[in-house]
């Protein structure tokens, strides 16, 4: 399980990938970790996604963070 958590923490979105592909990869890792007993909650996954996607999405992220606080949304 620790390997999955480490893998999750080390993930970064590549410029050549879409947000959909990246989010699928994060969810896949998180779901495997959950099966093994990890407590990766939805807000942690969303936070990870928002923090690690490329800067070209910064304006969108800022809008999302100001209109829907992560902790209250999930």
pLDDT digits (tens, 9 = 90+) for 21-74: 999 999 999 999 999 999 889 989 989 998 898 888 888 878 877 887 666 544
- Using N-to-C axis directions, what is the helix angle for 19-35 and 42-52, rounded to 10°? 140
Decide if 52 contacts 12 (C-beta within 8 A). Answer: yes
Decide if 14 contacts 52 (C-beta within 8 A). Answer: no
Report the 10 Å Cβ neighbour count for 38: 17
The beta strand positions in the chain, using DSSP E, are none
Q: Give the residue carrying structure tokens 């949304």.
A: 73
User: Model pTM?
Assistant: 0.77
């Amino acid at each position: 399980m620790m390997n999955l958590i480490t893998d999750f923490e080390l993930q970064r979105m590549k410029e050549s990938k879409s947000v959909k592909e990246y989010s699928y990869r994060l969810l896949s890792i998180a779901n495997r970790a959950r099966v093994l007993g990890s407590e990766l909650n939805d807000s942690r996954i969303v936070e990870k996604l928002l923090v690690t996607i490329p800067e070209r999405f910064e304006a969108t992220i800022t809008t999302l963070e100001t209109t829907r606080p992560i902790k209250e949304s999930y």
